[in-house]
Amino acid sequence: MFQIAPLFRGLAAIGLGFALLGCVPSQEQALPSAVRADVVGPQKIIALVPDPESAAQMRQATRSAGYQELDVTRLGDLDLTMLTYRMPDGVTGAQAIAALEAAVPTSTVGVNHAYRLQQQQGAAQALDYADTMMRWSEGGCAARVPIGLIDTAIDATSPALAGAEVITRAFFEGPSAKTTHGTDVAAVLANPDRLRGVRIYGANVFGQPEAGDPVAGADALVRALDWLSGEEVRLVNLALAGPYNKLLNLAVDRAAARGLILVAAVGNEGPTVDPLYPAGFEEVIAVTAVDVEGRIYRNAVRGPHVDVAAPGVDVMLPTAGRLRFVTGTSIATPFVTARLAADPAVAAARNVSEARSRLAETSAELGPEGRDTVFGYGLALAENICGE
């Protein structure tokens, strides 16, 4: 592992002394008191089954118990079938899970947990420091693999994506959330100073409820993973976080077994909460955020699952028609995904363990020697990885 160079402290001296219009200094953001473990559709219950016989048993069990069938979808690339039901009045999610898994032992049944974006507007702390901090080669690297992006919709007409091929698909019904977040993340991936020739498969999983923040259901994430697996995508960026969900757990297991390398934000719910998901799964590379001086983002989730850190505090982005500064583990995550996409050793990796080992070998210490619960293996570096 490398030691981080001291030059980043000098970058802080040229930071702008004012907040951009419409942005709030991240230092003024209060830590949330608790993680929101809400659901999309309180009366919705979802079952994943492995074969037609199990599907038939589930349909019989739910029909006899008064469940209303809402949808049946074959997830061919995960080798699963998803059955969605409305629970009878008076039945709780816990009761439905226990009853249906008992009736069909091969099934995995769960509620439709909500997952949220992990980005906020930031203050202008420093200029465009991220590439220098990660030691990207001048002119960037060629993208070795296509990249999946499970996020909001992407504005493929954004000038920031002029050099990228963007293929999109939606995985929910109803109005779509704004494209800002997905476009921001895609812009980090497609910046030619980092990656050239990028192909992005954008899975739009975020709907916009009548009130409140955009949310993505666990069912949308599962469908998106199935699609990306079928498109033979190797790297998947998930700049979102939420509670543990057994449906998502099963889908992540299946995707990882098929060779997908998933990279996810640890979340912005604060240093004292339990791991958020999908970053909390062993099969996922968990990314945290640091500022220009290598200090941890104050709202970042911590724990033994943290793998690596990347720039994620007041990162400058040329999207939404102007220069903006954004903060959060969401914006740190695509820096790590881009770094992995540029590395021929990762393109040849057989599984996420090999990709994680590659990051461990090429990261810069930020905390105690070795892996720690704040920075993981340290700052992800892109030095000498192009392999050209």
Residues known to be catalytic: 151, 181, 330
Identify whether the C-beta of residue 171 lies closer than 8 Å to the C-beta of residue 223: yes
Strands 199-204 and 147-151: parallel
Question: Among residues 119, 127, 115, which one has the least CA distance to residue 297?
Answer: 119
Beta-bridge partners for 109: 47
Give the Cβ contact number of residue 83 at 10 Å: 24
Question: How far is the C-alpha of 381 from the C-alpha of 367, rounded, in Å?
Answer: 15
Say if strands 120-121 and 324-327 run parallel, antiparallel, or are unpaired.
Answer: antiparallel
DSSP state of 288: E
Nearest-angstrom CA–CA distance, 272 and 287: 17
Q: Under DSSP, is residue 226 helix (H, G, I), strand (E, B) or coil? A: helix
Instruction: Determine the 3-state secondary structure of 251 from DSSP.
Output: helix
Q: What is the 3-state secondary structure (H, E, C) of 307-366?
A: CEEEECCCEEECCCCCCEEEECHHHHHHHHHHHHHCCHHHHCCCCHHHHHHHHHHHEEEC
- Cα R_g (the chain), whole angstroms: 21
Q: How far apart are CA 104 and CA 58, in angstroms?
A: 6
Q: How far apart are CA 306 and CA 16, in angstroms?
A: 31
Question: Residue written as tokens 């339990």?
Answer: 274
Q: Which residues 6+ apart lie within 8 Å of 306 measured at CB?
A: 266, 286, 288, 372, 373, 374, 375, 376
